[in-house]
Amino acid sequence: MAEHDTIEGGGPTTENTRRCSTVVGLHWGDEGKGKLVDLLAKEHDAVVRFNGGANAGHSIQIGDERFALHLMPSGVLHPGKRLVIGNGVVVDPEQLLAEIDGLGARNVDTSGLVVSSRAHVVLPYHKDEDGLREAMLQGRAESAKQKQGEIGTTRRGIGPSYAEKTNRSLAVRVGDLLRPEVLREKVAASCEIRHAMFAEFASTDGVPAEALDAEAITERMLAAGQRLRDRITDTVYLLHEMVQRGQRLLFEGANATLLDVDHGTFPFVTSSSTCALGIGPGTGVPPTCLDRVIGVMKAYCTRVGAGPFPTELENATGDAIRERGREYGTTTGRPRRVGWLDLVATRYAAMVNGCTGLAVTMLDVLSGFDELLVCTEYEIDGVKTDRFPADAEALRSVRPIYTRMDGFSGDLSLARSVGELPARARAYLELIEQHAGVPVDIVSVGPERAQTIGL
C-alpha cells in the first residue's frame, strides 16, 4: 500500500479529472458508505442515490454532531450540491419529509434535493405487509424448528414496494402523488386486495388485521406530494444534462453487495440491486460514464438480520468488537452480528462491482488484539476454494480457513498518513490488497471527516 495524504473535509484531489464515481458496500452493509460519500462529495457536483429506500442508514459525524440519513443523499452537508433520489429508489414520502424537516431544524440546506418522478412509493400498507410477512415466517420457522425463517427485514415496506413495482398495475410512482384521481384509484384497489390478504395472515398466525382506510392514505400521500411538488422531476434527463455539461456525479449505493437481490446471499438479501451494476437501471446513466468504483469494507465483517455468516464470532471477542465499533443499526438500533474479515467474500464483491479501489473503515477498532484472524479460503465438502457461493444454502456449508496475523496496538485514530500506522496494521492492509486484487486507496481510523487517510 502506497503512502497517502489525509482527506480533510473533502474528497481526493485526483477526483477533478473524473466524471462519475460510485461508493458501494462490499459486505452486508454498515461499512461506512455515508462517511465516504460525504468526503468525496466536495469534488462532485451531484450525489445520486440509485437503490433501496428508508431501510438504509448512513451516518456522518462532523465534530460532535452526528447525522443519521435514510433517504437523503449523503452529500447534503455540502451546501450547493445537487442531491438526487433516482428512479431505482423506493421513496417513503413521509419519511423523506421528516428528514427534510429534521435537517432544516439543524440549519442544513436541503434545497438541492430532487426526486425522480419515476421512483416508486412506499405506502403504509407496504409496511404493514412487511411486518405481517416477517411475523408469519418467524412463527412458521419456530413451529417447524427449521432454519428458513424470517429474512430479517427492517420492516420499512421496501420488499412489498419493489414487489408492487414488478407487479406493475397498482404500483404508485412519485409522479402519481401529483395526480389525485390516479392515486385514489390505485390506493383503493390496493387496500381492497390487502384487506383480504391481511385477514388471511391474521387467521393463520394470530396477527391482528386492521382495516385499511384508502381515503385517509390517499389524503396523506397527496399532502406529501404537495410538499414535494417542486422537487419532483425527470431525473434521467437532469443527470444526462449534467454529464453533457462536464459535471461530476457521485453515485451512492444503499445496503451492500452481499445483500444484492441477484448477487447476494439469496434469499437473505434486500429487494434491489445494491452493487455498481444497479446504477444504470437505478438512474438511467449508462456504465460508460463511470470512471471510479470505490468498494467500502470494514476491517472486520458485520451482518444485521438473518442469513449465513461464515466468520461470525459468537464469543467475547465478537462482543468486544461490537462495543468498540458501536455496532448497532442506524435504522433499527439492532445489535449487529460481528465476525472476522472474510476476504473470500471481499474478492467476490470487488469482482462483481469492478472496483478500482478499496476504502477500509474501522481499522482502529481492531487495535489491541494480540492476534487477528482473516478468512482467506473456504472449505466446502472437503475441498478448498477461493470462490464465494452467493446462495444461502451453499454458504451455510462452508468452513472458513483462516490466516493468523499478529495484532497491532496504539491509538490509530490519530494517524493521518499510512506511515503513521503500526507496521502490523500496514501488513493487514497489504493482505487485503493481495487477496482482493484491488489497491486500498482510503483508510478510515475514526468516525470524523479528518480521521481518514487517502489519496
Picking from 368, 446, 351, 373, the residue whose alpha carbon sits closest to that of residue 26 is 351
Q: Which of 4, 27, 30, 342 is catalytic?
A: 30
- Interior CA angle at 367 toward 364 and 370, to 5°? 160
Q: Are strands 20-25 and 290-298 parallel, antiparallel or unpaired?
A: parallel
- Look up residue 433 and give its three cell numbers: 490488497
Rounded distance, CA 395 to CA 377, Å? 13
CB 258 within 8 A of CB 264: yes
Q: Tell me if residue 78 is catalytic.
A: no
Residues 6+ apart with CB under 8 A from 154: 54, 55, 331, 332
Interhelix angle 423-436/343-353, nearest 10 degrees? 50
Q: Tell me if residue 205 is catalytic.
A: no
Residues 6+ apart with CB under 8 A from 48: 73, 84, 86, 235, 239, 249, 250, 251, 252, 283, 285
The helix/strand/coil state of 426 is helix
Q: Which of 4, 27, 58, 78 is catalytic?
A: 58
Active site residues: 30, 58
